[in-house]
């Protein structure tokens, strides 16, 4: 097998300013345990593996792994994988859309104004969190009950609990705990002042397999679910630009819009910064879980 890969920067406002994803092409011969080990080795928030589609509508299939395990969908890996597939010569069956097959189903991707955009998938879980769930999230974030303007489950794969604040400044001021004994997937959003270059500020916090709380630089799945939330509540209309990653020294810019059919689209820049081939691939058959 030829194990080629690309490292793609997604959602960055400029080079090396977004969220990187490693995309492994021609991954047919890899077992899930091997994919997991490779993901740990890259030590990025996600690593993806390109495979032939199993559904006739799809152009390619992808498996998405985090440091904790495989997930059905994630946003920046979707755009990064599509970018890598196109860069390697992929030709969509439909000239207007690329169709990605993943565990969450079929995801439509479009090319818009030099960016890639994915159609936000439906939520797997919605509605208000319980009092206990919200209390735990407040403890993780170090905030009081009066700081929370609204809260809702925004689970489209990773399992986000969304919390809305009164301002972007409040979002940027958060200093969450360093660890938590249970799984954490919290996304926060707050508006910038009217007339700003961006409309909303987002941050995303999740825990790894050891319980360490990590901030994700730029998060497509969260922006997709938050977009639906903001459109549905009237906090946003038609289209807006969101920022994420500022506290980490990144400059993420996410372009979110709702079309005439009510579908939310999430777009961003994608750039390949590293590409190459794994050495010693003949020994991959012996790669197993640590």
46 is catalytic: yes
Q: Which of these is catalytic: 31, 33, 46, 136?
A: 46
| Secondary structure string (H, E, C) spanning the chain | CCCEEEEEEECECCCCCCEEEEEECCCCCCCHHHHHHHHHHHCCCEEEEEECCCCCCCCEEEEEEECCEEECCCHHHHHHHHHHHHHCCCCCCECCEEEEEECCEEEEEEEECCEEEEECCCCCECCCCCHHHHHHHHHHHCCCHHHCCEEEEEECCCCEEEEECCCHHHHHHCCCCCECCCCCEEEEEEECCCCCCCCEEEEEEEECCCCEEEEECCCHHHHHHHHHHHHHHCCCCCEEEEEECHHHCCCEEEEEEECCCCCEEEEECEEEEEEEECCCHHHHHHCCCC
Residues annotated as catalytic are: 46
């Amino acid at each position: 097998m030829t194990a080629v890969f690309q490292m793609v920067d997604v959602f960055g406002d400029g080079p090396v300013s977004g969220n990187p994803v490693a995309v492994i092409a021609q991954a047919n011969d890899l077992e899930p345990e091997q994919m997991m080990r490779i993901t740990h080795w890259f030590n990025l928030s996600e690593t993806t593996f390109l495979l032939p589609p199993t559904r006739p509508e799809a152009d390619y299939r992808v498996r998405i792994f985090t440091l904790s395990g495989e997930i059905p969908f994630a946003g920046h890996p979707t755009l990064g994988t599509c970018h890598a597939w196109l860069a390697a010569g992929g030709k969509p069956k439909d000239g207007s859309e690329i169709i990605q097959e993943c565990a969450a189903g079929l995801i439509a991707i479009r090319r818009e104004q030099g960016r890639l955009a994915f159609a936000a998938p439906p939520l797997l879980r919605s509605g208000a969190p319980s009092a206990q769930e919200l209390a735990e999230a407040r403890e993780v974030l170090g905030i009081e009950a009066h700081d929370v303007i609204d809260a809702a489950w925004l689970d489209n794969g990773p399992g986000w609990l969304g919390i809305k604040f009164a301002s972007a400044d409040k979002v940027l001021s958060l200093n969450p705990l360093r660890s938590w004994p249970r799984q954490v997937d919290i996304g926060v959003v707050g508006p910038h002042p009217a007339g700003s270059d961006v409309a909303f500020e987002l941050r995303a916090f999740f825990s790894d397999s050891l319980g360490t709380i990590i901030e994700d630089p730029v998060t497509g799945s969260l922006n997709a679910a938050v977009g639906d939330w903001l459109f549905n509540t009237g906090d946003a209309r038609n289209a807006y630009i969101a920022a994420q990653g500022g506290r980490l020294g990144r400059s993420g810019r996410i372009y979110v819009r709702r079309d005439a059919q009510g579908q939310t689209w999430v777009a961003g820049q994608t750039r390949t910064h590293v590409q190459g081939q794994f050495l010693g691939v003949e020994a991959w058959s012996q790669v197993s879980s640590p």
